[in-house]
Amino acid sequence: MALEVQYRGKKIGYENRFIDGTFDAESWPHAETIFTILDLVFNTIFAIEVILRMAAWRLKAFHSVWINLDIIIVSTSLLQAAGFSLIDPRMIRVVRLVRMIRMLKIVRVIRIFDSMFLLVRSIQASAGAFLWSFILLFFIQLAAGMLLHQLVKPYLTDATVPVNLREGIYRAFGTFTGTMLTMFEITFANWVPVCRLLVDNVAEVYGLFFVVYRCMFCFAVIKVIAAVFISETNRIVASDDHLAVVKSQRAREDFTRKLKTMFRMLDESGDGQLSWGEFQHLVSDEVTKSWANAMEIDTRELEELFAFLDTGNGMVSLDEFMDGIPKMRGAARSMEVMHILFLTRRMEQKLSNIQRTLGNHNSTREDL
């Protein structure tokens, strides 16, 4: 598509003398034929895909917006290929680009596309803020534009002013569309030429208007809108369930990878087992100690930690290391303590019941 646009754009430029010289068709040999064949190939592939999806979905296919869009695109492409050109086929190709949004369902599970998926989700989350911001900006610019139009209107009809000067003012503020376009230019682009046009040709007091408008509106209002965008986006993204699950999963994967790296650093013998001597490097080596503290691994009670990981053979394997360390970090360790307290209370309750039963049994024997 990009190559076809480049080819046809060059051709139009040479034919209408927008570009000096003549169009050399030999520099693009068989371009028209190649574009026709490629269009036919892609239309065929696209049609087969739609047919297969409709066969799989059956009647449910007509409830899908994407499948209905595909049906329209394929039907229009086939009619165009048969000689019934309803619209420019290049417009159809542009519509096809919209279908790339569906790729987000695939790329969101691939780690390298996390940032892109977060960006798209943020844009979706800010849709409401964008709508109301646009409405607010539009009406403020509408009010300011109509004010300027009414102020310069006498100048436009003043016959004593040279026509070329009035023409410049007219192009900027003579019509509604021209006024709104000028206001968008003042707000978001280069405001200086319009300001100079009014100050130099109408009155210097317009300079005050531009100073107030730029300082109060463009600086204050737009900054507030930007802050609301950021706040609203952060709020919605933070509450997104899928992003929370992905973030948690990525964190677990990173922690697992770091644990494996730490185990390999401690395992100096390379036998896949950590002895007590090797395990002591967890606190004697500053690098591994800092790394352990960063991962919320408490190394103050190293012997107890080694005893907790060891299953009885005096060595700690990789599986034991990977299974035990997460239970001894931060909140996980607190949960383990709570679990131990719970088991302790259950044991105390059972001992009390046993003691009570034995007491009742002894009382019965004494009565007999």
Per-residue pLDDT tens over the stretch 184-221: 988 888 888 999 989 988 888 888 888 888 887 778 88
What's the pLDDT at 338?
47
- Phi first, then psi: what are they for 329, rounded to 5°? -115, 135
State how far the alpha carbon of 26 is from the alpha carbons of 2, 10, 32, in Å. 19, 13, 12
Task: Please report whether residue 318 resides in a domain.
Answer: yes
Digit-coded pLDDT (tens) for 227-253: 887 787 777 777 777 667 777 777 788
What's the pLDDT at 335?
46
Q: Is 191 helix (H, G, I), strand (E, B) or coil?
A: coil
Pairing verdict, β 316-317 and 273-274 = antiparallel
Most trustworthy range by pLDDT among 41-50, 103-112, 196-205, 325-334:
196-205
DSSP states of 260-287 = HHHHHHH-SS-SSEE-HHHHTHHHHSHH
Q: Domain range holding 57?
A: 2-104
Share of the chain above pLDDT 90, in %: 2
Query: How far is Cα 29 from Cα 43, in angstroms, rounded to an integer?
Result: 23
Q: How many CA atoms lie within 13 A of 367 on its CB side?
A: 6
Task: Please report whether residue 169 resides in a domain.
Answer: yes
Q: Give this prediction's pTM.
A: 0.53
- Phi first, then psi: what are they for 317, rounded to 5°? -85, 175
What's the pLDDT at 350?
77
Residues 275 and 202 grouped into a single domain? no
Length in residues, the chain:
368
pLDDT of residue 332 exceeding 50: no
Burial of 52 (0-12, 13-18, 19+ CB in 10 A): exposed
Task: Please report whether residue 356 resides in a domain.
Answer: no
Residues 196 and 267 grouped into a single domain? no
Confidence bin at 306 (pLDDT 50/70/90): confident
Residues 234 and 251 grouped into a single domain? no
Q: Which residue has the tokens 């534009």?
A: 145
Q: How many CA atoms lie within 13 A of 152 on its CB side?
A: 31
The closest alpha carbon to 262, from 329, 182, 166, 172, belongs to: 329
Last residue of a domain, one of 183, 210, 238: 238
Query: How far is Cα 32 from Cα 10, in angstroms, rounded to an integer?
Result: 14
Residues 164 and 92 grouped into a single domain? no
DSSP states of 75-96 = HHHHHHHTT---S-HHHHHHHH
Digit-coded pLDDT (tens) for 155-192: 888 888 888 888 888 888 888 998 999 999 888 888 88
Choose between 66 and 140: higher pLDDT. 140
Query: How far is Cα 136 from Cα 140, in angstroms, rounded to an integer?
Result: 6
Last residue of a domain, one of 214, 238, 262: 238
Residues 229 and 277 grouped into a single domain? no
- Rounded to a whole number of angstroms, the CA Rg of the chain reads 37
Q: Domain tally for the chain?
A: 3
Residues 277 and 324 grouped into a single domain? yes
Digit-coded pLDDT (tens) for 9-64: 777 777 776 676 766 666 677 777 787 787 778 778 878 877 887 888 777 777 77
Choose between 246 and 130: higher pLDDT. 130
Residues 9 and 98 grouped into a single domain? yes
Give pairs for 133-142: CB < 8 Å, separation 24+. 133/225, 133/228, 133/229, 136/221, 136/225, 137/187, 137/221, 137/222, 137/225, 140/217, 140/221, 141/180, 141/183, 141/184, 141/187, 142/180, 142/183
CATH number at residue 282: 1.10.238.10
- Phi first, then psi: what are they for 343, rounded to 5°? -65, -40
Q: Is 297 helix (H, G, I), strand (E, B) or coil?
A: strand
Residues 10 and 72 grouped into a single domain? yes
Residue type, 231: S
State how far the alpha carbon of 214 is from the alpha carbons of 15, 134, 177, in Å. 45, 18, 21
Give pairs for 68-75: CB < 8 Å, separation 24+. 69/95, 69/98, 69/99, 70/46, 70/99, 73/46, 74/43, 74/46, 74/47, 74/50
pLDDT of residue 281 exceeding 70: yes
Residues 267 and 183 grouped into a single domain? no
Residues 54 and 135 grouped into a single domain? no
Choose between 365 and 204: higher pLDDT. 204
Query: How far is Cα 124 from Cα 305, in angstroms, rounded to an integer?
Result: 47
Task: Please report whether residue 309 resides in a domain.
Answer: yes
pLDDT of residue 95 exceeding 70: no
What's the pLDDT at 180?
92
pLDDT of residue 361 exceeding 70: no
What's the pLDDT at 220?
81
CATH number at residue 6: 1.20.120
- Phi first, then psi: what are they for 215, rounded to 5°? -75, -45
Task: Please report whether residue 120 resides in a domain.
Answer: no
Task: Please report whether residue 85 resides in a domain.
Answer: yes
Residues 141 and 234 grouped into a single domain? yes
Task: Please report whether residue 361 resides in a domain.
Answer: no
Q: Which residue has the tokens 């230019």?
A: 185
Choose between 329 and 227: higher pLDDT. 227
Query: How far is Cα 231 from Cα 227, in angstroms, rounded to an integer?
Result: 6
Task: Please report whether residue 78 resides in a domain.
Answer: yes
What's the pLDDT at 111?
56
What's the pLDDT at 298?
65
Residues 140 and 227 grouped into a single domain? yes
